[in-house]
Amino acid sequence: MNMQDHLNWKKPMDYHFIGKKRPFLIIMLLALMWTSCKIEQVAPVPESNKDLTGTWKILYATRNGTNLIPLFDLSQFSITFNGSAGTYTLNNPVPFIELVNGKYSLDNPKYPFSITFTATGGQPVPTAFNYPIIDGSRQIIMTFSPGCPQNTYVFTLTRSN
């Protein structure tokens, strides 16, 4: 048997084997493609409630855009939040949203945009609230006008303990 006869003999055999298996191979390939394209369901991580518990001190303070830190000694002021009781305590008060201790609440415990202070025996006073993480530490940024609407204060507080 010469080389030409050997090649001619092999071709019908290969075609016969692949030709009969081709529908099966196509079905298997389609099944593999169909089962490998499943969409993975990713469960979202639930957001935790924002916890203000602790003592906070003034980091930055402005009135109508003017930095108050070099003008006034605000270093003694602090506010202590008791999260379980929903109360706050002012230490060495400065012009602030409230001048006496009382209760506080967030408009949304998971995604707060407003905090409401209610002094003991007083009316609720809501104010804008932001709770970002800056340089690795949590801060509270509040914007308010304590009395005169022409004066807008922005206090940035940082946790001291």
Using one digit for the tens of pLDDT, what is the confidence trace for 5-60? 555 555 555 555 555 677 777 888 777 777 776 677 888 888 888 899 999 999 99
User: Which pTM was predicted?
Assistant: 0.70
Tokens of 96: 């602030």
Based on its alpha-carbon atoms, the radius of gyration of the chain, rounded to whole angstroms, reads 35
123-147, pLDDT tens digit by residue?
999 999 899 999 889 999 999 988 7
| Mean pLDDT score, 103-116 | 93
| CA distance linking residue 65 with residue 151, whole number of Å | 10
Q: Which amino acid is at 85?
A: A
Residues 6+ apart with CB under 8 A from 55: 78, 79, 80, 91, 159, 160, 161
Asked if 129 and 138 touch (Cβ cutoff 8 Å), the reply is no
Q: Residue 117 has what pLDDT?
A: 95
Residues 6+ apart with CB under 8 A from 110: 47, 48, 49, 50
Under the banding of pLDDT at 50, 70 and 90, the label for residue 67 is very high
Burial 115-138 (b: 16+ CB within 10 A, else e): bebbbeeeeebebebebeeeeeeb
Q: What is the mean pLDDT of the chain?
A: 84
Q: Which amino acid is at 9?
A: W
Q: Residue 94 has what pLDDT?
A: 86
Under the banding of pLDDT at 50, 70 and 90, the label for residue 93 is confident
Q: Residue 39 has what pLDDT?
A: 73
